[in-house]
Structure 1
Amino acid sequence: MTGAAPSLAPKAQQAVVLFSHGSRDPLWRAPIEAVAARIAAQHPERPVVCAYLELSEPSLPQAVDQLVQQGAAGVTVVPMFLGTGKHARADLPVLVEQLRAAHPAVRLHVQPAVGEDPRITALMAEIACELPPS
């Protein structure tokens, strides 16, 4: 699930953009793309694309533009960061305001950074405490 979004049905839909930093290393993107693939498998009616701040494509504006052109009436941006650092706190709001200006009819929602969700914190703690194989 790199940048390609499935075609949207005629009915306007809520789409998801998994937004992360980006890297020149294509292996770095694998976990983000795995999340997108899981969403696509579990929610085939919900278009999902990955987008990157830098060093990878598509950018957030490119991803949102693509989804809007395909008929998305709303886009949920999910910051795939462990915390609300500079990218989530400073860079993302600027990008979102630009997108709202470019697409005033589209409902844009930004979730908190995934790493700040208590479910993720609990899962990371569980993984950290697993005993090594015997």
Structure 2
Amino acid sequence: MTAIILFAHGSRDPAWARPIEAVAQRVRERSPGTPVTCAYLELTSPSLPEAAAALIAQGATRVRVVPMFLGVGRHAREDLPVLMAELARQHPAVAFDQSDAVGEHPDILDALAVVALAP
């Protein structure tokens, strides 16, 4: 079973996570059989290791981590690969994949342009 983790920075403000959780809900609606959860680098729970462990406990054998960053800064470029390597070490029977940051996807760039041009 393939599961998805939407990985974001995190914040002390609980309202900050609402858009990330909304994306997870849209994934559930579009693909009801695909387990999806959110995970955060800091300040918000669950952490990436906690989220991965929960999905693995549900039977996930492949986990795709989607960085919910507009740009590829230090967190996506340096922190996340270290976390991914640790996940692979802790769960050798599970395949972990890291996709590109969402801000690099042409559809996201197009959607942002539409929003910027809206009256």
Give the TM-score of the pair, scaled to structure 2.
0.98
Aligned residues: 119
Indicate the percent of aligned positions where both proteins have the same amino acid: 55
Residues 55-101 of structure 1: CA distance to partner in whole angstroms, max 9, x if unpaired?
Answer: 00000000001111111010000000001100000000000000000
CA RMSD in angstroms, aligned pairs only: 0.6
Letter of the structure 2 residue corresponding to residue 106 of structure 1? V
Q: Within the alignment, does 1:21 sit opposite 2:9 as a pair?
A: yes
Letter of the structure 2 residue corresponding to residue 75 of structure 1? V
Which SS does the other structure have where 2:7 is aligned? strand
Q: Which runs of 5+ in 2 are unaligned?
A: none
Letter of the structure 1 residue corresponding to residue 35 of structure 2? P
4+ aligned runs moved over 4 Å, structure 1: none
Q: Which of residues 69, 83, 87 is equivalent to 1:81?
A: 69
Higher helix share: 2
Q: 2:90, 2:41 → 1: CA distance?
A: 18
Q: Compute the displacement of 1:42 (Å).
A: 1.4
Q: Which runs of 5+ in 1 are unaligned?
A: 1-12
Letter of the structure 2 residue corresponding to residue 68 of structure 1? I
Give the TM-score of the pair, scaled to structure 1.
0.87
Q: Compute the displacement of 1:48 (Å).
A: 0.4
